[in-house]
């Protein structure tokens, strides 16, 4: 079987890149293990303003409309909505956070993302907010599970999907690439955190971070908004919420842990003792493919033109991948240069030993 691109990994990165290439008239085959997929654990929150300093994500003015358009296109194609705008209430954890936020309110470029500020302990149902809170705008969430399920079915129907673990030794490189019965002009690795084991790309400084999430069934009346109190809480169906996520750089495995569960419940309890009594109906863990500068790893191998990587979307895959997938498709097909900030060449002199 001949194809233009052999894509390894059907997470959000591999799926949205495959889509971008198919839209440009290419043939692709996507291979996935069917396990250990961070995209299927993630709740897909998009939040332009993050961290204690309320920092605006770089290039969000470009990334966000591109992501919304991309998900709308996919929704139109599959006949199901995947991305939902959902406002966020950001609860200040202390006076310092409140002060940072007040400063941001005076910056014109933050205006589209920040709403009304409540500085007193307004009685938000079920939650204590001693330092106040602010409404954040242009936040939302992507339903990654139905999106990736539809995309997998789409690839299967086009005879463009294999469930398998790609053994690197089974890839034969030449002017074209052979794997099993497939010959491809180019292989693109979209393996999430597992790329740190990839012999061609393990030189990249991956910084994987485990995250755990709980699903709770509760009786507390809550606004239909994302609540952010250091962790986030996302109502997703009547009487159910997801809370998350832990951030653990030490234990890189996909097992759920008692420690992860207790960390999430303890933080929740300090803001909402009632919610922390909720019944736990699910507990999941996954691994984010983080990078030291929080920017993706994209590009071709320094020596082997036929292999490339599209990875490193850390904790912001839902926001970043649609825009970067289009840049990467243009790079692969038309040799358009990549933005230097995400090109793996930035680590070549310091990390690549040949
Ligand atoms: C707990 C948690 C919460 C998160 N919350 C959010 C959030 O709210 N918003 C957000 O934007 N992001 C969030 N993220 C981050 C998000 O999940 C990632 O940015 C994104 O999913 C990465 O996608 P990916 O395709 O690169 O990796 P993955 O989704 O991990 O996909 C990689 C795929 O490649 C396959 N694979 C690897 N090696 C091989 C091989 N040799 N052969 C075949 N297949 C292979 C894997 O099995 C996997 O299916 C969260 C992550 C976690 C863990």
Cβ pair 14, 8 in contact under 8 A = yes
Cβ pair 206, 193 in contact under 8 A = yes
Specify the pairing of strand 297-300 against strand 279-288: unpaired
Whole-number Å distance, alpha carbon 37 to ligand 1 midpoint, is 5
The Cβ-side half-sphere exposure at 40, using a 13 Å CA radius, reads 17
CATH number at residue 149: 3.50.50.60
Whole-number Å distance, alpha carbon 84 to ligand 1 midpoint, is 20
Question: Within this chain, do residues 345 and 246 fall inside the same structural domain, yes or no?
Answer: no
Check residue 221 and give its pLDDT. Answer: 86
Whole-number Å distance, alpha carbon 259 to ligand 1 midpoint, is 22
∠ CA 131-133-138, nearest 5°, is: 155
In a domain, 71, yes or no: no
Check residue 254 and give its pLDDT. Answer: 97
Question: Within this chain, do residues 217 and 321 fall inside the same structural domain, yes or no?
Answer: no
Nearest CA residue ID for atom 39, ligand 1: 191
Number of domains in the chain: 2
Q: What is the pLDDT of residues 184-204, one digit of tens each?
A: 999 999 999 999 999 999 999
In a domain, 274, yes or no: yes
The Cβ-side half-sphere exposure at 348, using a 13 Å CA radius, reads 14
Q: In a 10 Å sphere around its CB, with 0-12 CB exposed, 13-18 middle and 19+ buried, how is residue 110 labelled? A: middle
Residues of the chain short of pLDDT 70, as ranges, are: 121-123
Question: Within this chain, do residues 215 and 129 fall inside the same structural domain, yes or no?
Answer: yes
In a domain, 50, yes or no: no
Describe the chain by its helix, strand, coil percentages, rounded to 5.
35, 25, 40
Select from 228, 292, 299 the least CA-distant residue to 47.
228
The interaxial angle of helices 60-78 and 144-157, nearest 10 deg, is: 60
Residue 243 CA to residue 213 CA, distance in Å, equals 6
Question: Within this chain, do residues 132 and 11 fall inside the same structural domain, yes or no?
Answer: no
Select from 18, 302, 12 the least CA-distant residue to 4.
18
Nearest CA residue ID for atom 21, ligand 1: 39
Q: How far is CA 50 from CA 19, 101, 136, 140, 178, in A?
A: 29, 11, 10, 13, 43
The Cβ-side half-sphere exposure at 328, using a 13 Å CA radius, reads 33
Whole-number Å distance, alpha carbon 38 to ligand 1 midpoint, is 3
288, 313, 328: which is the final residue of a domain? 288
Distance of CA 300 to the CA centre of its chain: 22
Check residue 107 and give its pLDDT. Answer: 96
Whole-model pTM?
0.97
Check residue 123 and give its pLDDT. Answer: 67
Residue 224 CA to residue 126 CA, distance in Å, equals 13
Helices (H), the chain: 12-23, 38-41, 60-78, 95-105, 144-157, 258-271, 273-276, 317-334, 348-351
239, 260, 288: which is the final residue of a domain? 288
In a domain, 225, yes or no: yes
Check residue 121 and give its pLDDT. Answer: 61
Q: How far is CA 154 from CA 24, 28, 98, 160, 238, in A?
A: 16, 12, 46, 8, 30
Question: Within this chain, do residues 284 and 217 fall inside the same structural domain, yes or no?
Answer: yes
State the closest ligand 1 atom to the C-alpha of 15, by its place in the atom list counted from 1. 25
Question: Within this chain, do residues 29 and 163 fall inside the same structural domain, yes or no?
Answer: yes
Q: How far is CA 153 from CA 43, 134, 148, 326, in A?
A: 21, 41, 9, 22
Enclosing domain of residue 241:
86-136+208-288
User: Collapsing DSSP states into helix, strand and coil, what is residue 351?
Assistant: helix
- Residue of 233, 295, 317 best suited for mutating to test ligand 1, as the one with most atoms within 8 Å of CB: 317
Check residue 23 and give its pLDDT. Answer: 97
Whole-number Å distance, alpha carbon 191 to ligand 1 midpoint, is 8
Residue 6 CA to residue 182 CA, distance in Å, equals 8
Ligand 1 in contact with 165 (CB < 6 A)? yes
């Amino acid at each position: 079987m001949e194809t233009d691109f052999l894509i390894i990994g059907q997470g959000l990165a591999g799926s949205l890149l495959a889509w971008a290439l198919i839209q440009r008239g290419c043939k692709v085959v996507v291979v996935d293990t069917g396990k250990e997929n961070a995209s299927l654990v993630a709740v897909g929150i998009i939040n332009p303003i993050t961290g204690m300093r309320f920092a605006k994500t770089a290039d969000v003015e470009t990334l966000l409309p591109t992501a919304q358009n991309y998900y709308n296109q996919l929704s139109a194609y599959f006949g199901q909505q995947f991305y939902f705008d959902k406002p966020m209430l950001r609860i200040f954890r202390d006076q310092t956070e409140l002060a940072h936020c007040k400063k941001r309110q005076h910056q014109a470029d933050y205006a589209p993302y920040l709403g009304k500020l409540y500085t007193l302990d307004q009685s938000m149902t079920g939650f204590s907010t001693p330092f106040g809170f602010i409404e954040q705008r242009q936040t939302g969430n992507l339903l990654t599970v139905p999106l990736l399920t539809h995309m997998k079915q789409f690839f299967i129907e086009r005879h463009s999907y294999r469930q398998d673990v790609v053994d690197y030794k089974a890839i034969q490189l030449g002017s074209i690439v052979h794997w099993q019965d497939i010959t491809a002009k180019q292989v693109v690795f979209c393996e999430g955190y597992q790329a740190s084991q990839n012999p061609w790309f393990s030189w990249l400084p991956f910084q994987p971070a485990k995250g755990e999430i709980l699903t709770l069934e509760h009786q507390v009346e809550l606004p239909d908004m994302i609540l952010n109190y250091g962790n986030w809480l996302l109502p997703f169906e009547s009487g159910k919420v997801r809370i998350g996520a832990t951030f653990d750089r030490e234990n890189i495995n996909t097992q759920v842990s008692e420690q992860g569960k207790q960390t999430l419940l303890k933080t929740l309890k300090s803001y909402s003792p009632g919610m922390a009594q909720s019944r736990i109906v699910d507990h999941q863990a996954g691994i984010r493919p983080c990078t030291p500068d929080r920017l993706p790893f994209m590009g071709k191998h320094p020596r082997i033109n036929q292999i490339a990587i599209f990875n490193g979307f850390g904790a912001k895959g839902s926001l970043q991948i649609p825009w970067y997938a289009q840049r990467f498709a243009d790079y692969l097909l038309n040799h358009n240069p990549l933005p230097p900030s995400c090109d793996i060449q930035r680590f070549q002199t310091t990390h690549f030993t040949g």
